[in-house]
Structure 1
Amino acid sequence: MWVSMQLMVMMILPLIALGQQYGTCTGTNGRKGECISINQCRSNGGASDPANLCPGDNTIQCCTYPTCTNSNGVAGQCQPTSTCAGNSDPANLCPGGNNIQCCTSGSTPTGPGTSTPINTMLTGLADILRGAGLNVVEVAGWRTRGHGVMSSVRGIVVHHTAGAATGDFPSLAVVRDGTSGLAGPLSQLGLGRSGTWFIIAAGRSYHAGSTLDDSVYGNNNAIGIEAEGVGLPATDNGHAYWPEVQYQSYIKGVKALQRAYGVPTSRVLGHKEAAVPKGRKIDPNFSMAEFRANLG
């Protein structure tokens, strides 16, 4: 048995040394990571960056990890402890080995709460949705796009685009750039028929118009999501006119936003519910009662 244990140690040590040999890196997404094999990164729950950022052959790539919230409720980034300039939380909050920990730079929560003004751009949107395991496309310039900063995140308003009947997210240009009568962006987020999320803007977006409570559902205080759909027939029953993959992604993404920004399910409304006067809007054409029930 002692011989067997020696053999196992001899096999494991080179693998550990290999990880140490290739060191740490910074991905093209700006996150700190480690240079490890693609297979090991996948197994660890990370994402490999193929941009030739690491020594070794093409199988060694920069592996970065998702965002996190530490034991004190502070938002942070999962990264190697050796690259953390702040505080690493050893409470097993991140995927990967023990060297990957939740790195934060402060001691108070950084995400906006249900009534806490933030007066800033929502530059964490892409990481929030990726952290939920969703496919994300970052539209060029999104981090600085908006009609000024967001005052807070107190509500979430869900929409449909009433756009073209084909394509994944054919309404992107309109949502990003607006129309002749209304300047874009028209929402922070878009959702394609495939379930892919499009990060369009980090600032205030003209999606809501007049609402029953602008301090919660108005453009200054609510995230807007435009999901691709023709919007017909108008209905409040079920979600039969939506691809299941898109509908489930809608639920998963909204849940992630709720967690990140402290938005209760009672403050997730359809545009048809939030808009005033009542009847001004019909979107989205699915049951909001069912949608909220799925949010839990």
Structure 2
Amino acid sequence: MRDHLPGDADLTALPPLQDVVVQLFSHRTITEPIRVPAVVEPLLVLVLAGTARVEERVLDGPWSAATVRAGDFYLTDTQEPYEMRWQTLEGDSFEVMHLYLGLPFIEQAARELLGPQSTAVALLDVSGARDETVHWLMESMRRELLDQRTPSLLCLRGLAQTLAVHLLRHYRAPQGVIRRSNALQAYKLRKVIDAMNAQLADEFSLTRLARTAELSEYHFSRMFKRATGFSPSQYFIGLRMARARQLLIETQRSVIDIGLEVGYSSPSHFSQVFRREVGVTPSAYRQA
């Protein structure tokens, strides 16, 4: 998500976990839709502060809107990437917590609650609801991660397992809706995108990224596109352009220097790609 947000968004970095991926965002109004990846784990979003009108849609579908405030949450278990945008209300601050809940927690809860064969269960999609148990568990995880000098993995896993049990009891999809198991895992997607951002000035390497994801090139390409809607090379170019747009707006560096930073030694090639992806030349984008 953080790679789709404009440059003025703040991300609070949290200790990396494999089975629980947590990110905190503070941002203003987002008018241009952002694309939320579809990974194997369900995504929970808790509104921590502020009020906003949030709109969602499947790709190219109609928008649905809801006004949300602190304490509201979203639960997404979609098999396809989707888009969202929002407008802040009653001030500029809008803070949210994203939590990808690892499948081991879901599967263990399913075995206990539904029997040893019931592991590939799916969850409902929930938009802008309130649930005090979800709120308390996610807020407890946030405090453990931020307030403790050395966060306890045992505590975090206990909270995550309790959250999985609660979700299965109250938000399980009807029988017959089966969770897919061949999607990209959230922590692997995070590792790959972090690697892309660290290598924007380098030549694109599918081999290197597939190695980061611990997958063959074929399976990595297929699963990455399923998660994001873009091929790895298209996504890499998008990150380059996002970084270039940020530098054009926030710095006075020359267009040539910015092109070099994002991997284009030829100013004409940088301008060509930028215009194709953004719609205007780098100089026109800065002036606008």
Q: Aligning the two structures, in what range does the TM-score lie when normalised by the shorter sequence?
A: under 0.3
Structure scoring higher RCO (CA < 8 A, sep ≥ 6) equals 2
Larger Rg: 1
Question: TM-score, normalized by length of structure 1?
Answer: 0.25
